[in-house]
Amino acid sequence: CMGIIELNKNVEQYILNTSGITFVHFSDIHARPDLWDRVVEYINYYADNISFAIHTGDYCGGSQKQYSDMYEGKKCLRTIYNCVGNHDCYSGEGDWLLCEKETVHNLLFNHNEDWSVTFFDCAHSMSYYKDFGNLRLIVLDDYYDTWQTRVWLRNMLKEAYDLGLHVITAQHEPTSY
């Protein structure tokens, strides 16, 4: 069985020959520590060339009943930022309704002490941004405080424009079909 490094040797040249900010994007890990650890293995192997990683939602399995604190597993040499997904918002009880925002926040953002991000100013915020030189990463919560977050996003985009920053937005839901 080949490991993640061997399976991706065909793109190694792109990672080794980059300049500036290089990051790993992954999503829908669904409470699979084995898959999370494979991503960590990849990041750690190329840590000199990778700035950070972003996981864009569905950290939990089908619901919060399938939860694994994957940050407690294999230690990553780079920060892995997290984002809320639809399965993270479902308690697993009854109808598919959003559960308490604080519960979701406490599951997904319990290891953010080294993130150095600026959260949207609201209780248990799950939208935030971080500047990396001339790049601004804006992570959006698609499920709670959506109207207020849109206003905040507009302000963050204007500020980034005024500062001459490039912007990447990250969220779980597609922006269009």
* Helix or strand run (H / E) with residue 82: strand 80-82
Report the distance separating Cα 55 and Cα 83, nearest Å: 6
Res 108: pLDDT: 97
Are 128 and 158 in contact, with CB atoms under 8 Å apart? no
Q: Which residues, given as ranges, of the chain have pLDDT below 50? A: none
**What percent helix, strand, coil does the chain show, rounded to 5?**
35, 15, 50
3-state secondary structure (DSSP) of residue 16: helix
Which pLDDT score, from 0 to 100, does residue 177 have? 58
At 156, is the secondary structure helix, strand, or coil?
Answer: helix
User: pTM, whole model, 2 decimals?
Assistant: 0.94
How many other CB atoms are there within 10 angstroms of residue 85's CB atom? 26
